[in-house]
A and B are shown apart, each in its own frame.
Chain A
Amino acid sequence: MNLERPEVKNLIEQRDWQGLRAVVSQWEVPDIADLIVEFEKADRVILFRSIPRHLAADVFSELDSRDRDELLRDLTDEETRALMANLRPDDRTALLEELPGQVTQRLLNLLSPEDLKEARSLLGYPEESVGRVMTPDYVAIRPDWTVATTIEHIRKMGRDSETINTIYVTDKSWVLMGSIPLKQIILSNPDDKISDMMSAPAVSLSAFADREEATKTMEKYGLFVLPVVDSDGVMVGIVTWDDVVDIAQEEATEDFHKGAAIAPLRESFRDAGIGVLYRNRITWLMTLILVDLVAAFVMAKFEHTISQVVSLVFFLPLLIGCGGNAGSQSSTLIVRSLAVGEVEVRDWAKVVFRELGIAAALGATISLAVWGPGVLKGGSAVGLVVAMSAVAIVTISSLIGICTPFLMVKLKIDPAASSSPLITSIADILGVLIYFTLASWYLKL
């Protein structure tokens, strides 16, 4: 494919749109999208116009939101109308929800009455719900049909649906009853009855469920398509594999960001402006300053102790740092396990119990490691205080790291908010408190 690029460049320079269309129509959609992005803005729209119509909508969906926005501006109303009509309904929802309000309005005006109705209803589902990512293009059949009628129906309806690898069985009022893989239909006799061969009830999702449910359900049942139903069990659409993979990646990115105390970015990191990045980062940073101030207050209480043995302070970053690190480890392990459904909230006792042992072992190891340097730099008494504090701080911080995500789930907060910075800051307060309390007591200050 890369070999063809110079050739394409030639064709564009010679303005040979016909030749270009012939070459490009043999390509895969993502490759065409990559090619378009490589060109200057002025050439992009020309190249886009030369793509065969049936490919253009898919190529458009493949572009980044910013590139799409720019391209839309250069297209005429008539071209936009054709493009919107050819977009898959789920891609259309995604486009409409990310564009600025006025552009969305302009696009809605260009939709056919039918498409407009569909777009409105899809946009009516809550953000990040299954309804927003589903497509209403699927094939449904009735239970009393035979295999022959079914195949006839598929041949008629299948061209417009996103996938026909699974066929859904509904009753007259479109209530989902079961499903059959296309494979099974092909392998059966023409006069077999659908009701005898369908698997029922079909695994399904509610349109109002969080889209993460789609990922978990597909993974659990090893399915590539899931039917979506409303509260009455009426089938309203399907969610397909490719969307779910994208969702899983997006959710993982969101969790990564939350894990570092960053509010989820709605756009790609590369395209985000300074203002967006600033806003998404500053809130937690300022909140954590307040938490750190508590540590400062606690320490002020120990002013007397500190002024008597200044060398105590030299080990402060070490102790609170170790506590924070161990706590971040525990918290991250749990948050991820909860996110992929590997650990359920009801497993908490088992997990916390095991953590108790690990935390103590980690604490003991670190304590041994810091005892030597403590004695060397601060004398045997300070060394002992440092070592004792290390066990206590590492153990307790690990436990806090393990418990906070569970607690958040109980409080109906996303456990991913139990970020490394949050745990580190909490560990700091505890670290200061434990360290100086032990020091005052042991050194009799």
Chain B
Amino acid sequence: MNQLIKPEVKELIAKRNWAALRQITSRWPVAEVADLILDLPQAERVLLFRALPRQLAAEVFAYFEPQDQDALLSELTGEETRHLMANLAPDDRTSLLEELPAQVTQRLLTFLSPEDLKEARQLLGYPEESVGRLMTPDYITIRPEWNVAQAIEHVRKSGRDRETVDILYVTDPSSKLIGVVSLRQLILGKPQEIVRGIMRSPAISVSAFEDREEASRIMERYDLSVLPVIDSEGLLVGIVTGDDVFEVLQEEATEDFHKSAAVAPLGVGFLEARFGKLYKSRIGWLLGLVLVYLLSGTIMSRFEETISHVVALVFLLPLIIDCAGNAGSQSATLMVRALAMGDVETSDWTKVLLREVGVALALSVTMATAVWAIGTFQAGTGVAVVASVSLLIVVTVSCLLGAAIPFVLDRLGWDPAAASSPLVTSLADIMGVLVYFSVATRYLGI
């Protein structure tokens, strides 16, 4: 859709016809308008942004990455900022305030109306990564003693500026959450039916102080797109919506991906991450693993005599340690992901490790046979036998290591995702060197 209209829009921009642009874009989805603005050079962005209707402008703004928000804010006048802040949805406002540098946050807080300020402060009062930070106070509550007609009338009166009205929350006078009713139930119900009779009670809810991952787990489990948030006394304080939670889910998966490759969590998008940030999150593990490799070098120097007798042994060294590393990474990755998804619990360890023994043996026998055949051909029978026997041992052990380390980390209360491919590969290397040259020394009688 965007592609078709773009030349026309380009022309309007070139002609600086902001009124016509406002006309066209006001019917577009927010994401398209945001992309259009981001396509413009920095100086022109603010011009188009100003042309947008206020409500749309706020939604478009919420869609931007923090750095683009920051750049745009610096161009806006105080009055414009005030309007923008007033029109942002409360949860978007919180995440904006959370992401900007502290001075800018302070400046922005001064632009808020006393009411909005109270709301923002309240949301910001919850610990980072908690449900409270994600929630929005935009919801509709109804009373259990109302009938369906009254409830619909209430929705019609107060629903206009609410983020979501698909689910209504039933509370008692002290605003304690006692149940939920979907808008669908109201529409399909009879006008005289009493809310108490059709509501779902008790409502599934989450505490504002819980980790936000808990909210995503609950929503995934119960297939909910909105989840009510309560405080310690069971009072309804907000709702979290699926789109925010979905972002959390994706972020967590990304974090686990990065950890699996020994990259410390970036905390920002990869594209936005600056040079220094990327360097810092990568160098830690790389240097740590250098120490591990130095150990394998030390071990190898013990076998100097063996090596100088049969130099051909060394040719197959990368193969041996790689095979072990690869098989070990496979085991570790399978286990880490299964633990993260709740597919496997720590209590399943005996069953899973026992099965891994079977898989590991099957894999190592296959690989050892292949290497034996190739090795005989390439480096002579002696080296081939040494290589395949070593492979048998090394692959089996590193599979078991790879499968066991995530369990152990979990037991110790650490994140099992730290069992990254590079870590397992490095450990497999040490073992590979040790086993390979020990077998060689013994078998070749050096």
Where the two chains meet, the residues of A that have a C-beta atom closer than 8 Å to any C-beta of B are: 28-30, 151, 154-155, 158-159, 163-165, 182-183, 186-187, 199-201, 203, 218-222, 224, 241-242, 245-246, 248-249, 252-253, 255-257, 259-262, 268-270, 274, 277-278, 281-282, 284-286, 288-289, 292-293, 295-297, 299-300, 303, 306-307, 310-311, 313-318, 320-322, 324-326, 328-329, 331-337, 340, 342-343, 347, 351, 354, 357-358, 361-362, 365-366, 369-370, 373, 377, 394, 420-421, 424-425, 428, 432
- Are the CB atoms of B308 and A358 closer together than 8 Å? no
Cβ contacts under 8 Å, B258 to chain A:
332-333, 336
Report which of B294, B296, B323 forms a contact with A285, defined as CB distance below 8 A: B323
Cα A117 to Cα B223 in complex, Å, equals 27
- Are the CB atoms of B425 and A325 closer together than 8 Å? yes
Question: What's the tally of chain B residues with a CB closer than 8 Å to chain A?
Answer: 108
- Are the CB atoms of A245 and B326 closer together than 8 Å? no
B341 within 8 A of A: yes
Q: A249-B249, A322-B290 are in contact. Are A293 and B326 (CB under 8 A)?
A: no
Known A256-B337, A278-B362, A366-B286; 12 more pairs at CB < 8 Å: A242-B225, A249-B341, A259-B333, A260-B333, A268-B338, A281-B330, A316-B317, A317-B300, A318-B297, A328-B262, A420-B421, A424-B421
B160 within 8 A of A: yes
A-contact 0/1 string along B366-387, CB 8 Å cutoff:
1100110010001000000000
Please choose the segment from B41-49, B101-109, B127-135, B274-282 that sits at the chain A interface, where 4 or more of its residues have CB less than 8 A away: B274-282
Cα A297 to Cα B335 in complex, Å, equals 34
Report which of B223, B225, B262, B326 forms a contact with A261, defined as CB distance below 8 A: B326
Chain A proximity of B253: nearest CB distance (Å): 4
- Are the CB atoms of B363 and A278 closer together than 8 Å? yes
Chain A proximity of B115: nearest CB distance (Å): 23
Report which of A284, A292, A325 forms a contact with B285, defined as CB distance below 8 A: A325
B220 within 8 A of A: yes
Cα A28 to Cα B180 in complex, Å, equals 13
- Are the CB atoms of B290 and A369 closer together than 8 Å? yes
Chain B residue at minimum C-beta to C-beta distance from A307: B311
- Are the CB atoms of A288 and B242 closer together than 8 Å? no
Can you list 25 pairs linking A and B with CB atoms under 8 Å apart?
Answer: A154-B187, A163-B184, A182-B166, A219-B246, A242-B220, A245-B246, A252-B253, A259-B261, A260-B332, A270-B343, A270-B352, A278-B359, A278-B362, A285-B327, A286-B367, A297-B315, A313-B300, A313-B317, A321-B289, A325-B285, A340-B254, A358-B279, A362-B286, A377-B301, A424-B421
Please choose the segment from B207-215, B227-235, B263-271 that sits at the chain A interface, where 4 or more of its residues have CB less than 8 A away: B263-271
Q: A222-B30, A270-B343, A425-B322 are in contact. Are A315 and B422 (CB under 8 A)?
A: no
Chain B residue at minimum C-beta to C-beta distance from A365: B283
Query: Nearest 5 A-B pairs (CB), nearest first?
Result: A332-B261, A260-B333, A318-B293, A242-B223, A292-B319
Cβ contacts under 8 Å, A165 to chain B:
166, 183-184
- Are the CB atoms of A317 and B317 closer together than 8 Å? yes
- Are the CB atoms of A186 and B275 closer together than 8 Å? no
Question: Chain A: interface secondary structure?
Answer: helix
Please choose the segment from B10-18, B151-159, B407-415 that sits at the chain A interface, where 4 or more of its residues have CB less than 8 A away: B151-159
Chain B residue at minimum C-beta to C-beta distance from A284: B326
Where the two chains meet, the residues of B that have a C-beta atom closer than 8 Å to any C-beta of A are: 1, 27, 29-31, 152, 155-156, 159-160, 164-166, 183-184, 187-188, 204, 219-223, 225, 242-243, 246-247, 249-250, 253-254, 256-258, 260-263, 269-271, 275, 278-279, 282-283, 285-287, 289-290, 293-294, 296-298, 300-301, 304, 307-308, 311-312, 314-319, 321-323, 325-327, 329-330, 332-338, 341, 343-344, 348, 352, 355, 358-359, 362-363, 366-367, 370-371, 374, 378, 421-422, 425-426, 429, 432-433
- Are the CB atoms of B308 and A307 closer together than 8 Å? yes
Q: A268-B343, A281-B330 are in contact. Are A316 and B261 (CB under 8 A)?
A: no
Cα A261 to Cα B165 in complex, Å, equals 45
Cβ contacts under 8 Å, B269 to chain A:
337, 342
Chain A residue at minimum C-beta to C-beta distance from B371: A289
Q: A256-B337, A257-B333, A307-B311 are in contact. Are A28 and B355 (CB under 8 A)?
A: no
- Are the CB atoms of A333 and B263 closer together than 8 Å? yes
Chain B residue at minimum C-beta to C-beta distance from A256: B337
Cβ contacts under 8 Å, A218 to chain B:
246
Cβ contacts under 8 Å, B250 to chain A:
219, 248, 340
- Are the CB atoms of A420 and B222 closer together than 8 Å? no
- Are the CB atoms of A313 and B286 closer together than 8 Å? no
- Are the CB atoms of A281 and B165 closer together than 8 Å? no
Cα A177 to Cα B184 in complex, Å, equals 23
Chain A proximity of B400: nearest CB distance (Å): 14
Chain A residue at minimum C-beta to C-beta distance from B184: A164
Cα A304 to Cα B359 in complex, Å, equals 40
Cβ contacts under 8 Å, A248 to chain B:
246, 249-250, 253
- Are the CB atoms of A158 and B294 closer together than 8 Å? no
Cβ contacts under 8 Å, A313 to chain B:
300, 307, 314, 317
